[in-house]
């Protein structure tokens, strides 16, 4: 099974542009968690932009290149928050297609499939507006047919039905899922990484491994290629490696690349 992971330091447009000949049509999944325009200098990377238009202007040629790197049945997942979600959705509709936003006419149109809401439970409070406690992950497909193995709600395996809890603890490893259990809807409650979590690297804006494992498992088959062009601490790459997928990460920050490589070495095994 192919599960090697590569991390390359540099600007993703330059790095992936140079590899485009080799990677054209190769990726089953592209996941990106780009800068959101928080106005903060995180040290490892600077998220200060003159305005929203310049951030969207940075993303446009990169999304266009990423479209080329996808397989015909591949998917792109774009992780954003309220600051740029509306602008990014318009950009993705233009570059990938309006997909399921369009009224159905015959075969499904390429493009938009879902807007996954990730609620993380932490966040600021406010009495002037609703406290913000979610990110958005846009799912777009390159074509009008796509690979998808929908995540299902955890349920006791058929094998274990009728046995008591103590026996379950003895015989059951990871939670089992029934193939006929209901498909998970598009709102996901996954805790943010807490200060004591083993997976915590200290890299700013690190995303939870369980979130990425769910996405990689749903959108790729074992052995296929996942690309994360803004890979940061390497969460997507670790998820891919643990699930037996090949992974390519790019980040402009030397600190990110160092953390991601170290993490693949220590956390990459299932
Ligand atoms: C929100 S963080 C990603 C965090 C990551 N998902 C994780 O779990 O650790 C965004 C990353 O994009 C990187 N970045 C920003 N602009 C970039 C560019 N043009 N090329 C490559 N990486 C870039 C930053 O260095 C930063 O690590």
Q: Indicate the domain borders of the chain.
A: 5-147+186-267, 151-184
Ranges of residues in the chain with a pLDDT under 70 are 1-3, 155-177
CB 205 near ligand 1, within 6 Å: yes
The reported pLDDT for the residue numbered 103 is 79
Instruction: Write out pLDDT tens, residues 152-194.
Output: 987 544 444 444 443 333 334 445 567 778 999 999 999 999 8
CB 241 near ligand 1, within 6 Å: no
The pTM of this model reads: 0.92
CB 31 near ligand 1, within 6 Å: no
CB 45 near ligand 1, within 6 Å: yes
Token pair belonging to 233 = 């601490």
Report domain 5-147+186-267's class: alpha beta
The reported pLDDT for the residue numbered 270 is 75
The reported pLDDT for the residue numbered 158 is 42
Is 230 within 8 Å of 12 (Cβ atoms)? Answer: yes
β-pairing verdict for 40-41 and 46-47: antiparallel
Distance linking the first and last C-alpha atoms of the chain: 13
CB 33 near ligand 1, within 6 Å: yes
The residue whose CB lies within 8 Å of the most ligand 1 atoms, and thus the one to mutate among 256, 257, 258, 267, is 256
For residue 30, the CA-to-ligand 1 centroid distance in Å is: 14
Residues 119, 135: Cα–Cα separation, whole Å: 7
For residue 137, the CA-to-ligand 1 centroid distance in Å is: 16
The reported pLDDT for the residue numbered 42 is 97
The reported pLDDT for the residue numbered 46 is 95
Closest atom of ligand 1 relative to the 260 alpha carbon: 9
For residue 173, the CA-to-ligand 1 centroid distance in Å is: 34
């Amino acid at each position: 099974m192919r599960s090697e992971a590569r991390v390359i330091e540099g600007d993703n447009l330059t790095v992936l542009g140079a590899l485009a000949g080799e990677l054209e049509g190769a990726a089953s999944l592209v996941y990106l968690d780009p800068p959101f325009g928080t106005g903060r200098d995180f040290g490892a990377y600077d998220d200060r932009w003159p305005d929203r238009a310049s951030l969207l202007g940075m993303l446009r040629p990169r999304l266009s290149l990423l479209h080329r790197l996808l397989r015909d049945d591949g998917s792109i997942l774009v992780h954003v928050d309220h600051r740029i979600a509306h602008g990014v959705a318009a950009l993705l509709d233009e570059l990938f297609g309006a997909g399921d936003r369009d009224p159905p006419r015959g075969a499904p149109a390429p493009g938009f499939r879902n807007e996954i809401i990730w609620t993380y439970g932490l966040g600021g409070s406010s009495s002037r507006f609703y406290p913000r406690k979610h990110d958005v992950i846009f799912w777009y497909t390159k074509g009008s047919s796509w690979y998808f193995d929908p995540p299902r709600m955890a349920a006791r395996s058929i094998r274990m039905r009728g046995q008591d809890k103590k026996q379950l603890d003895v015989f059951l490893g990871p939670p089992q899922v029934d193939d006929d259990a209901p498909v998970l809807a598009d709102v996901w409650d996954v805790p943010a990484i807490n200060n004591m979590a083993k997976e915590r690297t200290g890299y700013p804006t690190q995303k939870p491994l369980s979130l990425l494992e769910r996405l990689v498992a749903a959108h790729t088959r074992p052995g296929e290629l996942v690309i994360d062009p803004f890979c940061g601490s390497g969460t997507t790459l670790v998820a891919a490696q643990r699930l037996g997928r090949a992974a390519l990460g790019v980040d402009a920050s030397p600190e990110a690349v160092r953390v991601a490589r170290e993490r693949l070495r220590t956390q990459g095994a299932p």
